[in-house]
Amino acid sequence: MHGTAEERAPRPVPQEIRGFLHYPGWLSPQEQAALVSDLRAVAAAAPLFSPMTPYGRPMSVRMTSAGRFGWVSDLRGYRYSETHPQGTPWPAIPASIRAIWDAVLPKARAPECCLINYYAEGAKMGLHQDRDEADFTQPVLSISLGDDGRFRIGNETRGGATQSLWLRSGDVLVMGGAARLLYHGIDRIAPGTSMLLPQGGRLNLTLRVVR
Ligand code: MD6
Ligand code: FE
């Protein structure tokens, strides 16, 4: 159409997998590009860094955060911090990202952290629980941008059967309710599957209520 506002496709309905709600293609390509531009501004103020695990090995994923709290890891352990390792407060969560939380989770409390994970080729994230937050009634919402990533979902304890799904650029995933404490991780990314990020790789944003 010409001369009228761009129409976007209706938002996808969620597909449920082990209690996670997967919204494939929630974001239009234009919305994805706008998020990347907002994330560049975040990373300019709060550069990506390679966190050390408490076991003394660097994580393969590079991270930074926006919001009142950011998630950090070092030899002292995993925790939320009000400052970047460089000593500065985190930038505010961009309005474009906050709007996704509000649209998908209108009844949830306001997010206090947007953790930004960058996966270059070969990076992965081991199975983990998100349990550094105080209120497990509040969901975690994730947004995927760039190359495809294979997400793995397990159980409330380590071990047992797992299931995987591919997360693609523009997908939203909600981990809440009975799924809130399930183990999950990223097996691998598939390089070259998206043109969104000029340098390639995958960005994942997770929005959380911390307190
Ligand atoms: C990732 N995601 O997709 C890692 N956590 O790169 C997570 O660890 C995650 O996608 C909580 C809820 C949704 C997630
Ligand atoms: Fe997680």
Map out the domains of the chain with their CATH numbers.
12-208 (2.60.120.590)
Q: How much distance in Å is there from the Cα of 7 to the middle of ligand 2?
A: 33
| Residue to probe by mutation, ligand 1, list 62, 104, 151, 182, most atoms within 8 Å of CB | 151
SS3 155: coil
Instruction: Give the Å distances, CA to CA, from 67 to 28, 81, 142.
Output: 24, 10, 15
Closest CA to 62 of 48, 44, 41: 48
Sort 136 into a burial class: Cβ within 10 Å, 0-12 / 13-18 / 19+: middle
Q: How would residue 1 be classed by pLDDT, with cut points 50, 70 and 90? A: very low
Reported pTM: 0.95
Q: How far is the CA of 28 from the centre of ligand 1 (A)?
A: 20
pLDDT tens digits along 181-209: 999 999 999 999 999 999 999 999 999 99
Average pLDDT of every residue of the chain: 96
Residue-level pLDDT at 6: 63
Q: From the CB of 118, is ligand 1 less than 6 Å away?
A: no
CB 194 within 8 A of CB 147: yes
At 101, is the secondary structure helix, strand, or coil? helix
Q: Distance between CA 118 and CA 40 in Å, rounded?
A: 12
Structure token pair of residue 36? 């990347």
pLDDT digits (tens, 9 = 90+) for 32-60: 999 999 999 999 999 999 999 999 999 99
- Ligand 1: atom nearest CA of 202 is 6
pLDDT band at 8 (very low <50, low <70, confident <90, very high): confident
Please identify, by atom number, the ligand 1 atom nearest to the C-alpha of residue 167: 3
Using a 6 Å cutoff on CB, does residue 143 contact ligand 1?
A: no
- Ligand 1 touching residue 140 (CB < 6 A): yes
Percentage of residues of the chain with pLDDT beyond 90: 93
